[in-house]
Copies of this chain bind each other. A is one copy, B any other.
């Protein structure tokens, strides 16, 4: 495989080998996997962790990064086939991708959900089309439906802390002022199920995961041996939990209607993770989040600044995970 689009494309064994490679490369800054190579990093959306950790990963592997930001210094890109391009986008990915393939040896792309049509966003067509038109080694840096670099970093974080493969992983919805996409919740769920964990999805009534995410979860569970169920009962969800992974997501049945979503989420403004959530959990239960996180909206200062929070080392593992991904891709691809 020359393109990493979703963690589910890999077998649990292949993921374990990537985690092992990540551990091997961790702290090594004088590697040569990308010697004389140029890595393009195309960001259609903002970034802090990915922007910096990818450039650092490339530097540690001996390569050079080139950052491309359409709409901010670079032309806006058209993603849809067959359109008459009379709008804002002046360049089509059908030209941009093969052109970039002549300049860079590997391409990473961030392309968030459009947030209009749920089925379209879950189908993740734009990132798949970009990978296909590019043709060479390609990494998804968070698309409409998937964030495999984050998922691999999360897996390593769980391993680093000795959280058992069959441990209890709670993916919880939390309040956020805007409807957010499914890339991170779906990737965290996929990761935990591929790892073989007992997963509980905690969310308010009506915020059930959509069918497309459930289908992927079923596939991940089948491949990795994990189990999952959804609930709105916080105590039940957190009973005996090893990890609480917080993330917000849009209400599926009003997807694309921010005002309806706002009204629907209003009653759940108090879904801000605080210490009380952990009462039924294991005493040493950890708090995870992909960052950035709005303090005192999604989670309190006390939790983030307290001993349960592992968000900083979790983000640190982005660097190590991506070094492994880049190294594997540079050596002929992922299995």
Residues in chain A within 8 A of chain B (CB atoms): 29-30, 36-38, 40, 43, 46-49, 51-53, 55-56, 59-60, 64, 66-70, 72-75, 78, 82-86, 90-92, 94-96, 98-100, 102-104, 177, 291-297, 301, 304-305, 311-313, 315-316, 319
| Cα(A56)–Cα(B293), bound, Å | 34
Q: Which of A36, A69, A294 has the most CB of B within 10 A?
A: A294
- A201 → B minimal CB distance (Å): 24
Q: Contact check: which of B96, B301, B305 meets A48 at CB < 8 Å?
A: B96
Q: Contacts A48-B91, A51-B74, A312-B95 given: A294-B86 contact, CB under 8 Å?
A: yes
- Chain B residues near A315: list those with CB within 8 A: 95, 99, 102
Residues B68 and A40 in contact, CB atoms below 8 Å apart: no
| Cα(A55)–Cα(B58), bound, Å | 15
Q: Whose C-beta in chain B lies nearest to the C-beta of A105? A: B29
What is the copy number of this chain in the assembly?
3
- A161 → B minimal CB distance (Å): 16
| Cα(A95)–Cα(B298), bound, Å | 14
- A42 → B minimal CB distance (Å): 9
Residues A68 and B95 in contact, CB atoms below 8 Å apart: no
- Chain B residues near A38: list those with CB within 8 A: 29, 55-56, 59-60
User: Would you mind naming 12 contact pairs between A and B with Cβ atoms under 8 Å apart?
Assistant: A29-B37, A52-B103, A55-B64, A56-B64, A59-B64, A69-B73, A72-B72, A86-B177, A86-B294, A91-B292, A94-B304, A99-B312
- A241 → B minimal CB distance (Å): 22
**A interface: dominant SS:** mixed
- A271 → B minimal CB distance (Å): 14
Residues A294 and B85 in contact, CB atoms below 8 Å apart: yes
- A134 → B minimal CB distance (Å): 12
